[in-house]
Amino acid sequence: MKKLSKSILGKSVILLSLFLTMLSCEKVDEGKNKIPAVSFETALISVNTEAGQYDAVVNLTEPAQNNLIVKLQFSGNAIENEHYTVPAKEIAISQGQTKGTLKITILNENIWDENLELKISLAPSTSYVILPATNSESTIRFTKKIVLPVLSFDKTGTPQTTNPYNGEEITFKLKLDQALAISREVTLSFDGGMTIGQDFMVDGGNSNKFMIPKGATTHTFKIKLNRKDNAGFDKDLKITLTPTDPKFLAISAQDGSYTLKVTDPLVDISPMLRKESLGGNPGFQIYQAIKGVDGTWIGKVTVSSIQNAVKKNYLKTFKHISFNAAFDCMANAAGGDALRLADLLNFATSDTVIADYGVGGTTRFFSPSDSLIRFIASEQTTLKGTLATVSQKFTAKLVLKADWETGTNTNKQWHIDSKATGGDITKSTYPTFATVVIELVKIEGTYDFTLAEPELIFTAWYKSSSKYFMKNMPSTLSISKDGDMYKVNYRLYPRS
């Protein structure tokens, strides 16, 4: 009996010891293996972006037993590296800590939207648990008072009208009410019937877009009108500013567009046409003089001209009118084309000029022009304006005067030759010893029909390789050299 009691007692002690040992092991395992739950400290928050940063915080239900990495997922309409930056897509929590932070840098200068949100979600992991009832997602609303820069035309000094014949390049000035925080693109739209590339260029090309750089408060762009020789042309070029993305830039309601009047008004040159040409010749007589060295207008002669009915805004000259020439032949009536080219030559008395001759006319003139002097008016008035010309060349052939004019009038060589060719110089076979070519490079001047005596005053630039051109000219004429060109000043006014 005693042995049985001892046996039962021993077994009981063993069982009790084993039970206590098991209980002790359970407590140790519970402390070492429990996985913490993780959640965000804040589920929803609005952050003033001007602060420049925000710290997102996650909490653990238990201190981290080891260094712990909480993985994150990002979403929302806020764009990384444009609206914010983060050092990593995770939060590191040191052993023994119960919370961790993610530093979010907010790029305030890039934020031009009042409804930006950044959503950060906890990503699953075996190192922690995410409980359904906790903040597994944190939404950060970026708040900012959006004051968009306002772009407008600075119209000070910008012309309101231009003549397309001038092919003018116009600089348009823009201004902003605040400096741009970042470069912005602007689009130009055009109304009024003129086409970019065909009628004008923008900054030397065909693009209607340009960038205004960061920090700018002003900007310019240039429109170059393609030259048009089209009298009567009349269009409004309306230029409107549009931001490529209106979230970032506003346009002034009052000064967001600019209208440029592009017009080439018809000029009535009848104030110059008072006395009809004599002898049934077409056109009207106009006096012409060249400026002398003393500043006065000298050498007055009469020329015959008329307004060109086809190429309007041009003064037309007539080929059958002779020059009051410098080569000692005064038998024909005084006159000539409005440039008096023969007066700019120095011939021997035995030389003469032939060109575009006809049976009933003289042989002493250059090829005339039906597009000689161009009138350029503005929208304000056509009674005053500027003068120009189309660059062109004039030619003439030289023959010996003695041979060319031998015989009675109807038997002179020029008359016989003219009859044979029907007045077409290109069909003439008569021998010549030289050809004179004079290039009219440009004309610059003004006209004024508001004066009691209307006038055209202009300077003409010439070039010629002929040895007969501008040699031994009268010392009384004010003719100057400008590089390889000669300058001559003219005044034309109506004959009463």
Kindly report, residue by residue over 419-476, the tens digit of the pLDDT: 777 666 667 777 777 888 889 999 999 999 999 999 999 999 999 998 888 876 778 8
Residues 265-287 have pLDDT tens digits of 999 999 999 988 776 667 888 88
Q: Which string of DSSP letters, residue by residue, matches 337-366? A: -TT-GGGGB---TTEEEESS--TTS-S---
| Whole-angstrom distance, CA of residue 233 vs CA of residue 396 | 36
- Return the closest-CA partner of residue 181 out of 251, 243, 109: 109
Choice among 143-147, 228-232, 370-374 with the minimum mean pLDDT:
370-374
Residues 150-204 have pLDDT tens digits of 999 999 999 999 999 999 999 999 999 999 988 999 999 999 999 999 999 999 9
Residues 202-229 have pLDDT tens digits of 999 999 999 999 999 999 999 999 999 9
Domain for residue 16, yes or no?
Answer: no
**134 and 238 belong to one structural domain:** no
Instruction: Between 151 and 399, name the one with better pLDDT.
Output: 151
**346 and 430 belong to one structural domain:** yes
Token code pair at residue 401? 């005067």
SS3 475: coil
Domain for residue 114, yes or no?
Answer: yes
Q: Which of 263, 293, 314 is where one domain is finished? A: 263
Residues 374-398 have pLDDT tens digits of 999 998 999 999 999 988 888 777 7
Beta strands 44-48 and 137-143, pairing class: parallel
**318 and 427 belong to one structural domain:** yes
For residue 367, give its domain range.
270-494
**425 and 457 belong to one structural domain:** yes
Q: Give me the pLDDT at residue 330, please.
A: 29
Q: Give me the pLDDT at residue 113, please.
A: 83
| Whole-angstrom distance, CA of residue 140 vs CA of residue 267 | 70
The domain total for the chain is: 3
Tell me the Ramachandran region of residue 143: left when phi exceeds 0, alpha when psi lies from -120 to 50, beta otherwise: beta
Q: Give me the pLDDT at residue 364, please.
A: 47
Q: Give me the pLDDT at residue 367, please.
A: 57
User: What mean pLDDT, rounded, does the chain reach?
Assistant: 83
* Confidence label for 121 from pLDDT (cuts 50, 70 and 90): very high
Q: Give me the pLDDT at residue 278, please.
A: 73
Q: Give me the pLDDT at residue 475, please.
A: 84
Residue 103 carries which side chain, given as an amino acid letter?
K
- b/e string for 183-220 if b means 16 or more Cβ within 10 A? ebebebebeeebeeeebbbbeeeeebebebeeebeebe
**114 and 184 belong to one structural domain:** no
| Whole-angstrom distance, CA of residue 91 vs CA of residue 95 | 13
**293 and 413 belong to one structural domain:** yes
Residues 296-318 have pLDDT tens digits of 999 887 777 888 888 899 988 76
Residue 272 carries which side chain, given as an amino acid letter?
M
**405 and 462 belong to one structural domain:** yes
Instruction: Between 18 and 250, name the one with better pLDDT.
Output: 250
- Which backbone phi and psi does 344 adopt, to 5 degrees? -95, 5
Mean pLDDT of the region 84-90: 96
* Cα dist from 227 to 107, 206, 236, 396, 447, whole Å: 49, 16, 16, 31, 21
**132 and 212 belong to one structural domain:** no
The whole model's pTM is what?
0.70
Residue 368 has pLDDT above 90, yes or no: no
**207 and 250 belong to one structural domain:** yes
Mean pLDDT of the region 17-22: 45
